A = this chain, B = another copy of it.
Amino acid sequence: MLPELEKVLSEDEVRQIVRDEVQQAFANDPAKRKMRLVASKGSLDWAYPPLILSTAAAAGGMDTAVFFTFYGLNIIHKDGPKKLRVSPVGNPAMPMPVPMADLFTSLPGMKPFATSMMKSMFKKRGVVTIPELIEVALESDVRLIACQMTMEVFGFEEKDFIDGVEFGGAAAFVSEARQGHITLFI
């Protein structure tokens, strides 16, 4: 009974084992399962991409966090649903029922009009609302992190944000983001 002797490996056999293990390790690269997003914009339309992408990733089993900074803090503010608006001004790609020069889209009343048009477009097509998406995000363990520096600059306090939000800085974001493949600044 000397089974060990039968297992003595040649260099070729060792290299084959190494290649198999390495290939498997790359297939399971933990960076593939980590997504870190920055949500920097605070209008209704730009609130969708970070929430849709992060909930899609969480549904696929990924470790996901969204870092809300600058105007993006609006999205997770307790008054978010009221704060999130769409402005047609300066966005020549915003679909409008009829073509309008920016002067007309600048008139008082156009911003609420654009906001409610966008909301109804999403509703008509069965797309969930931002508060619903935030709920889905929290339920599926997407971490929602408010940027402490811009909170201070804009005069926000921790109590201004919805329950479940965490607080962190740019250095912490970088330290996490560098571990994952998907990093997007939205």
- This chain: copies in complex: 3
In the complex, chain B residues whose CB is within 8 Å of the CB of A102: 87, 89, 105-106, 110-111
Nearest CB of B to A24, in Å = 9
Q: CB-nearest residue of chain B relative to A179?
A: B32
Nearest CB of B to A172, in Å = 9
Q: Write the residues of chain A forming the contact surface with B, with a CB cutoff of 8 angstroms.
A: 4, 7-11, 13-15, 17-19, 21-23, 25-26, 29-33, 35, 38, 40-43, 45, 48-49, 52-53, 56-57, 59-60, 62, 69-71, 74, 83, 85-87, 89-95, 101-111, 121-122, 125, 127, 149, 152-154, 169-171, 173-175, 177-186
In the complex, chain B residues whose CB is within 8 Å of the CB of A21: 15, 18-19, 22
